């Protein structure tokens, strides 16, 4: 059995939790019952995965014995096919179990504040930033998350200079948190007459959405400015001062929001982004001080780190942190990110397991 040394611990804990769920003192306390029930559900899921892996291992052993004992070519072929399917199942359950064994990050269930900015590369970088916005929006839709654009600056070529969006849904942060960093694109721009491949970039910042209970901001530390919303090329969208700009004086962080028609709604959204940025800045500083991100861990969480290359001439995507390469950029740019994100999660899970 894989991770056999950990099975007894979880199996023993499951039995203890079952007894607690039968205790009248716990069943009469809704808050405690909810907490124990959640722990029981998670522990049972892990124990079931262990037992499932053990059964598959037994089936593999029997299939191997059958294969070794058979002389009939047709039966041997059937046994080989069964063995191949069982090995695939075993690999799948091993991945599932590895992810289950990692202690949950309390931030994983949170909503996401994502910022996309065009980097070096002029018009091509802005077009690529717009394509990344579309890619993440389509992926979020596939995951049944809600997307709210907080601010966006469009460009004449159909790209964006920057965009700030709120992605809402259970587990959003767990699926987007590894996207932070510099994304590089290599391709021939439409404006390139000599067919030369250009390299451009866009940067992504991902933060868990901070709630008021996570961080209290002193209103005296914030300067609030209002202005008229603007559209492409700077033309006025409306003549009322509905757009809001917040400046957090102690940190110098500036947040603007003009997506909503109501000044109050823009202010609420802007404060959500401001809280998230301040909290992310504090955590980044703390992580550096504690040297939390050790050598070998995927991604330092540094927004200046080059994490991925999208090579269009070779139809290839490479994630440099886990040395992962795949093809089919059309699908990926259409939001098919599950395989990539699963591989990132697996690599991080393996690193954390070694640390544990």
The CATH-assigned architecture of domain 112-355 is 2-Layer Sandwich (3.30)
Considering only 53-67, 215-229, 295-309, which range has the smallest mean pLDDT? Answer: 295-309
- CA 2 to CA 249: how far, in whole Å? 53
Q: Per the structure block, which two tokens stand in for 40?
A: 């029981």
- CA 89 to CA 268: how far, in whole Å? 48
The DSSP call for residue 217 is: P
Dump pLDDT digits (tens) for 177-234.
999 999 999 999 876 767 789 999 999 999 999 888 888 899 999 999 988 866 543 4
Q: Per the structure block, which two tokens stand in for 10?
A: 């979880």
Using an 8 Å Cβ cutoff, are 196 and 204 in contact? no
How many H-runs (helices) and E-runs (strands) does the chain carry?
9, 11
Instruction: Identify the residue whose tokens are 């064994």.
Output: 101
Would strands 181-187 and 306-311 be described as parallel, antiparallel, or unpaired? Answer: parallel
**Roughly what angle, to the nearest 10 degrees, separates helices 338-355 and 73-101?**
70
Domain residue ranges of the chain, discontinuous segments joined by +: 4-101, 112-355
Dump pLDDT digits (tens) for 261-278.
788 889 999 999 999 999
Dump pLDDT digits (tens) for 112-123.
999 999 999 999
Q: In the beta sheet, which residues pair with residue 153?
A: 162
Look at residue 134 and tell me whether its pLDDT is greater than 90: yes
Instruction: Identify the residue whose tokens are 């530390």.
Output: 221
pTM comes to: 0.71
Per-residue pLDDT, 71: 77
Instruction: Kindly state the percentage of the chain with pLDDT values over 70.
Output: 90
Using an 8 Å Cβ cutoff, are 105 and 348 in contact? no
**In sequence order, what E strands does 100-220 have?**
112-118, 146-154, 160-168, 181-187, 198-208
**In sequence order, what E strands does 216-311 have?**
222-227, 243-248, 253-257, 306-311
DSSP characters over 85-103:
HHHHHHHHHHHHHHHHHSP
Per-residue pLDDT, 290: 55
At 28 the three-state DSSP class reads: coil
Q: What angle do CA 171, 130, 210 make, to 5 degrees?
A: 35
- CA 151 to CA 41: how far, in whole Å? 40
């Amino acid at each position: 059995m894989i991770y056999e040394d950990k099975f007894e611990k979880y199996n023993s804990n499951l039995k203890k939790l079952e007894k607690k769920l039968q205790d009248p003192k716990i069943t009469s306390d809704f808050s405690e019952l909810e907490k124990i029930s959640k722990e029981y559900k998670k522990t049972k899921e892990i124990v079931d995965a262990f037992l499932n892996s053990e059964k598959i291992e037994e089936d593999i052993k029997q299939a191997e014995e059958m294969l070794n004992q058979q002389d009939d070519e047709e039966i041997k072929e059937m046994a080989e096919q069964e063995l191949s399917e069982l090995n695939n199942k075993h690999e799948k359950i091993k991945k599932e179990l590895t992810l289950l064994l990692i202690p949950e990050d309390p931030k994983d269930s949170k909503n996401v504040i994502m910022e996309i900015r065009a980097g070096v590369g002029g018009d091509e970088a802005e077009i690529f930033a717009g394509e990344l916005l579309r890619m993440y929006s389509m992926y979020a839709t596939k995951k049944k998350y809600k997307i709210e654009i907080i601010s966006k600056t469009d460009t004449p070529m159909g790209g964006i200079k920057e965009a700030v969006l709120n992605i809402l849904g259970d587990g959003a942060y767990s699926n987007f948190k590894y996207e932070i960093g510099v994304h590089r694109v290599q391709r021939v721009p439409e404006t390139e007459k000599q067919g030369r491949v250009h390299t451009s970039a866009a940067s992504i910042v991902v933060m868990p959405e901070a709630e008021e209970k996570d961080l209290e901001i002193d209103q005296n530390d914030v300067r609030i400015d209002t202005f008229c919303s603007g559209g492409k090329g700077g033309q006025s969208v409306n003549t009322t001062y509905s757009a809001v700009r917040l400046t957090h004086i102690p940190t110098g962080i500036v947040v603007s929001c003009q997506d909503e028609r109501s000044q109050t709604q823009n202010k609420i959204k802007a404060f959500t982004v401001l809280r998230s940025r301040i909290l992310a800045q504090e955590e980044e500083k703390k992580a550096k001080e504690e040297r939390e991100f050790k050598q070998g861990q995927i991604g330092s969480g540094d927004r200046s780190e080059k994490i991925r290359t999208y090579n269009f001439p070779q139809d290839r995507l490479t994630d440099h942190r886990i040395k992962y390469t795949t093809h089919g950029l059309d699908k990926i740019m259409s939001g098919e990110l599950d395989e990539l994100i699963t591989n990132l999660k697996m690599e991080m899970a393996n690193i954390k397991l070694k640390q544990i």
